[in-house]
Amino acid sequence: MKNSWFNKYGLNLYFGASNKIESYNRIENGSRAERDKLSIMKSNQFSIQSRIRSFRFAGEGIFSFLLKEHNAMLHFMATIAVITLGVLTGLSLGEWMAILLSIGMVWVTEMFNTCIEKLIDFIAPGYHQKIKFIKDVAAGAVLVAALVALAIGLIVFIPHLLY
Which pLDDT band holds residue 163 (cuts at 50, 70, 90)? Answer: confident
Residues across the chain: 163
Q: Please tell me whether the overall predicted TM-score, pTM, comes out greater than 0.85 for this model.
A: no
128 part of a folded domain: yes
CATH number at residue 91: 1.10.287.3610
Q: Where in the sequence is the domain holding 88, given as residue range(s)?
A: 70-163
149 part of a folded domain: yes
CA 146 – CA 86 distance, rounded (Å): 18
137 part of a folded domain: yes
91 part of a folded domain: yes
85 part of a folded domain: yes
Does 6 have pLDDT greater than 50? no
Give me the chain's average pLDDT, please: 84
CA nearest neighbour of 157 among 104, 106, 90: 90
89 part of a folded domain: yes
78 part of a folded domain: yes
Q: What is the mean pLDDT of residues 135-148?
A: 97
Which pLDDT band holds residue 50 (cuts at 50, 70, 90)? Answer: confident
Say how many domains are in the chain.
Answer: 1
In tens, the pLDDT along 61-112 reads: 999 999 999 999 999 999 999 999 999 999 999 999 999 999 999 999 999 9
Which pLDDT band holds residue 136 (cuts at 50, 70, 90)? Answer: very high
